[in-house]
Structure 1
Amino acid sequence: MNILIVDDDRFVIAALKQKMDWPSLGIKEVYSASNIRQAQSIFQAKPIHLLISDIEMPQGSGLELLSWIRSEKYETQAIFLTNYADFNYAQKAIELQSFDYYLKPIEFDKLELIIKKAIKKVETSKIKEQSIGTGNYWQKNKEEHQQHFWEKHLKEDIRLTEEDLQKQLKIKQIDYSLGDSFVPLLIDCFPYKLVNYQTIHSVIEQESHFQLKLKTVITDAFRSHPIHLDSFLKLNQNTDDYLALFRLNDGADVLLDELVSSSNELIATAQEKLNCAIQCRLGPVRSLGNVKQTFKELHASKKESIDFRNNVFLFTHQDKEDKKYTEPNFQLLEHYLETENRLSFMNKCDQYLTSLANKKILSYSVLCSFRLDVTQIIYTHLKKKEILANKLFQGKTHDFLLEQSSRSIEDIMIYISYLVDVSLEYMAFTDSQKSVITTICDYIDQHYQENINRNSLAKVVYLSPDYIARFFKKEMGVSLVHYIIQKRVAVAKELLAHTDLPIHIISDKVGYGNYSYFTKIFKKETHYTPVDFRKNSIFKS
Structure 2
Amino acid sequence: METLKIVDHIWWKKKEEFLLSEDQDSFWVIYLILDGKCQFKIGDKIGIAVGPSLLICPPNTIFERRVLESLSFHFFRLDLIGPHSYLHLESGLRNLNKERLCLNEKILRQYVYDLSAYSFFIRTHLIQDLLLFDSLNNQQPHYSQSQPTIRNSRIIELLHYIDQHYQEELTIEALSQKYCFNASYLSRLFKKELGISPKEYLLNIRLKNIQQLLISTNLPIEEIAELTGFKHGYYLSKYFKKKFGVSPSCFRKKHLI
Q: What's the TM-score once normalised by structure 1's chain length? A: 0.20
Decide which structure has the larger Cα Rg and report it: 1
